[in-house]
């Protein structure tokens, strides 16, 4: 018979109880709860913890006993616990003590098979399935995985069980743990709401770091991530068999190391993304891997409506493209591919060094990205392109996978924008380490453009500082032209009209304006001329 819970204040006695399995009154599982919860040691149910004997059954028995008594905390004292799939139960928190390692078995048969679905979808296995995992829960609530211990997936390449997989769960806390060597999404969540991930370290991941897919009310903070694939990547896939949005998401104070995208909305974008803020993040390359593909990527390509995203205070090193915003029409899990919308996005206070590709904002013909604001952005590019590159016309690639390098070389070295409406740029500074002869910025098919205080270099023989091609309603102010700029502004395209330059210092430009033959004489107004 199990003894009644006992209140303990002595640290020595607390350790003794953790080793023997006696229950105790504790707030470890739900610190905010007034009622105490029982704690159970996996050792008391037969776990060996030597890294050799398989402890799966003993750990699961501990979790089951805890759940059957109403919930509490399952304690992992220091040791190495070799295990296959473990099934989370409602009202149970796993606490990995410092020195405790939950070690994933290398034998695939020790893990649950992929679940059978009653529907078909186009997403890959990593996005779709959740039962083939070390720790997984489905339709459970009030759960936690906490402590100073580690989860080691014990793998050396991509492909295998997820460390943590949660499907249709509610009220989840993941705090302070370290996850190593994950062959699949490190923390994978589908249709899971009210989540708090805090102070987690993800090291040597071969796949994505944290993936909230069709999730709502998620907080991710104070995390350190080093993974080959995307670091933090909210998705809105069709993996639930229904269209569900990802909403009310906050990410803050994270360090993001990746060879792909540091923070990305998409690429899976069947559902919507709304009410999302991201702040105070550092992006860096992982030694031995290629540099990050992007720092900030926001992508709607499967009909998603992205609305209400604010990103601020990013510092990046070697991100190939610091900012990538893309509205496309891949149409995954759609009977008839139909573009969604991408609007009301604010990005501010970004410093990036050693970038390769110009920041890119790209809709598709007839479907612009809308109401985008970039402010207080400083990017240092490698540069080095010749004058011929200024005339490159990147392909539209409407249905293509949205990689930041999807257009290959661009006609601009600082910013390329195509198919946009109501675009605001404020306090933008572009620097090139090597002489670059392309346009500094290019705007094609843009309606409603406000440029305030753009600073970009000019080298002898280079193209313009700003190129407008089919811009309707462009206002340029507060700019100081680089010495010798020739011209400062190039306007072309038969649709260009309503362009005004006012409140600028253009005295050092060799030429202020070049207007192509197809542009009407009244399409551009320059103050003082």
Domain ranges (residues) in the chain: 9-258, 275-421+431-438
What pLDDT, on the 0 to 100 scale, is given for residue 529? 74
Q: What is the CATH number of domain 9-258?
A: 2.160.20.10
Give the tens place of pLDDT for each residue, 505-528: 999 999 999 999 999 999 999 997
Q: Which of 11-15, 188-192, 410-414 is least confident?
A: 11-15
Residue 264's pLDDT band (cuts 50, 70, 90):
very high
**Phi, psi dihedrals of residue 109, rounded to the nearest 5°:** -70, -10
Average pLDDT of the residues of the chain: 93
pLDDT of the residue at 38: 64
Burial pattern 39-60, b for ≥16 Cβ within 10 A else e, equals bbbbbbbebbbeeeebbbebbb
Q: If we measure between CA atoms, which residue out of 22, 136, 113 comes closest to residue 72? A: 22
Does the pLDDT value for residue 395 go beyond 70? Answer: yes
76 φ/ψ angles, rounded to the nearest 5 degrees: -110, 100
**Mean local confidence (pLDDT), 258-286:** 98
**Distance from chain centroid for Cα 508:** 42
Can you give the three-state secondary structure of 123-175, one letter per residue?
CCHHHHCCCCEEEEEECCEEEEEECCCEEECCCCCCCCCEEEEEECCEEEEEE
Q: Read off the pLDDT of each residue in 252-277 and give the average, rounded to a whole number.
A: 98
**396-409 per-position pLDDT tens digit:** 999 999 999 999 89
pLDDT tens digit string along 352-366?
999 999 999 999 999
Structure tokens at 307: 């609305």
CA nearest to 169, candidates 147, 149, 188: 188
User: What are 191-243's pLDDT values in tens digits?
Assistant: 999 999 999 999 999 999 999 999 999 999 999 999 999 999 999 999 999 99
Average pLDDT of the segment spanning 57-71: 97
pTM of the shown model: 0.92
CB-based contact 351:375 (threshold 8 Å): no
Look at residue 313 and tell me whether its pLDDT is greater than 60. yes
- State which H helix or E strand residue 418 sits in: strand 412-434
Residue 106 Rama label (left phi>0; alpha psi -120 to 50; beta): alpha
């Amino acid at each position: 018979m199990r003894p009644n819970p006992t209140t303990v204040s002595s640290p020595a006695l607390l350790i003794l109880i953790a080793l023997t399995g006696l229950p105790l009154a504790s707030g470890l599982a739900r610190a905010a709860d007034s009622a105490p919860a029982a704690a159970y040691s996996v050792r008391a149910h037969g776990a060996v913890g030597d890294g050799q004997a398989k402890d799966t059954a003993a750990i699961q028995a501990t979790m089951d006993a805890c759940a059957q008594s109403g919930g509490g905390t399952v304690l992992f004292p220091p040791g190495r616990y070799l295990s296959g799939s473990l099934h989370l139960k409602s009202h149970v928190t796993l606490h990995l003590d410092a020195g405790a390692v939950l070690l994933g078995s290398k034998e695939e048969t020790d893990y649950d098979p992929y679940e059978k679905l009653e529907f078909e979808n186009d997403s890959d296995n990593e996005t779709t399935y959740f039962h083939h995992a070390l720790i997984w829960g489905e339709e459970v609530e009030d759960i936690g995985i906490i402590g100073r211990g580690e989860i080691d997936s014990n793998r050396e390449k991509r492909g295998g069980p997820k460390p943590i997989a949660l499907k249709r769960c509610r009220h989840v806390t993941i705090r302070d743990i370290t996850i190593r060597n994950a062959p699949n999404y490190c923390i994978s969540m589908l249709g899971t709401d009210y989540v708090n991930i805090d102070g987690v370290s993800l090291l040597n991941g071969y796949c994505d770091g944290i993936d909230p897919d069709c999730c709502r009310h998620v907080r991710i903070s104070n995390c350190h991530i080093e993974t080959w694939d995307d670091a933090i990547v909210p998705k809105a896939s069709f993996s639930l068999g229904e269209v569900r949005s990802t909403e009310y998401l906050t990410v803050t104070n994270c360090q993001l190391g990746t060879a792909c995208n540091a923070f990305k909305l998409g690429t899976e974008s069947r559902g919507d993304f709304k009410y999302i803020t991201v702040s105070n993040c550092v992006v860096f390359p992982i030694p031995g891997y290629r540099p990050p593909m992007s720092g900030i990527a926001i992508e709607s390509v499967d009909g998603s409506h992205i609305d209400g995203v604010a990103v601020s205070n990013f510092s990046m090193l070697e991100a190939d493209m610091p900012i990538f915003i893309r509205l496309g029409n891949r149409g995954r899990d759609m009977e008839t591919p139909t573009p969604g919308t991408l609007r009301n996005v604010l990005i501010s206070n970004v410093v990036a060094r050693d970038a390769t590709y110009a920041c890119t904002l790209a809709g598709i013909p007839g479907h612009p990205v809308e109401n985008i604001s970039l402010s207080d952005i400083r990017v240092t590019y490698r540069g080095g392109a010749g004058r011929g590159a200024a005339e490159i016309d990147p392909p539209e690639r409407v249905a293509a996978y949205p990689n930041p390098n999807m257009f290959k070389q661009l006609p601009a070295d600082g910013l390329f924008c195509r198919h946009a409406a109501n675009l605001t740029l404020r306090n933008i500074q572009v620097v090139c380490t090597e002489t670059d002869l392309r346009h500094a910025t290019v705007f094609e098919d843009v309606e409603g453009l406000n440029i305030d205080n753009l600073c970009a270099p000019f080298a002898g023989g280079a193209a313009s500082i700003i190129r407008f091609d089919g811009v309707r309603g462009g206002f340029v102010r507060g700019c100081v032209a680089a010495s010798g700029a020739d011209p400062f502004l190039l306007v072309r395209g038969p649709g260009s009209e309503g362009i005004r330059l006012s409140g600028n210092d253009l005295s050092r430009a060799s030429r202020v304006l070049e207007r192509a033959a197809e542009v009407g004489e009244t399409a551009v107004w320059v103050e003082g001329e």
